Amino acid sequence: MALLFLPQGSQDRVKDIANVCNVYCPSSLDSIVVWRESDVIVGFAAWRVMAAEAELLALAVLEAKRGAGIGRQLLEAVLKQWDDQALEKGFLEVRASNDVAQSLYRSCGFNAVGRRSQYYPILGTNNFEDALLMARCVC
């Protein structure tokens, strides 16, 4: 296992990491941390910093690897970056039905601050579900 940090504007050309970066970090303002086992990405977190605030764009772990603490370690690595940059606030959105992720975020200092109605598509249907907005203040 290894955490690999790709800083803002990184031009790392490792194929699998580059694919993740292209999808989740299209801007030079975006950063990503990747959890790799051998040559396989099993999880990653992507975020964007604007002024004194950050937004978690994505946090994902392969289904077969969930429950092993990888998501928590990725999130803690992101939050350390935010703290090192003295960011005042951090934001994220999460599916309203994703109780496991909400619990993780709450345990790391995030609180619910709002809701986006009908935000996430439900795969295989024409339906949508709400997003819960969460924030972490370092004030």
Query: Which residue among the candidates 93, 119, 120, 129 is catalytic per the annotation?
Result: 93
Among 120, 121, 113, which residue's Cα sits nearest to residue 91? 113
Query: Which residue among the candidates 55, 63, 88, 105 is catalytic per the annotation?
Result: 105
Q: Is 129 a catalytic residue?
A: no
Looking only at the bridges linking them, the beta strands covering 89-95 and 111-121 are: unpaired
Q: Give the phi and the psi of residue 44 in degrees, each rounded to 5.
A: -160, 160
Q: Is 55 a catalytic residue?
A: no
For the chain, how big is the Rg over CA atoms in Å? Answer: 15
CB-based contact 58:30 (threshold 8 Å):
no
Supply the DSSP symbol for 125.
S
Tell me whether residue 15 is exposed, middle or buried, using C-beta atoms within 10 angstroms of its C-beta: 0 to 12, 13 to 18, 19 or more. exposed
Q: What amino acid positions are annotated as catalytic residues? A: 93, 105
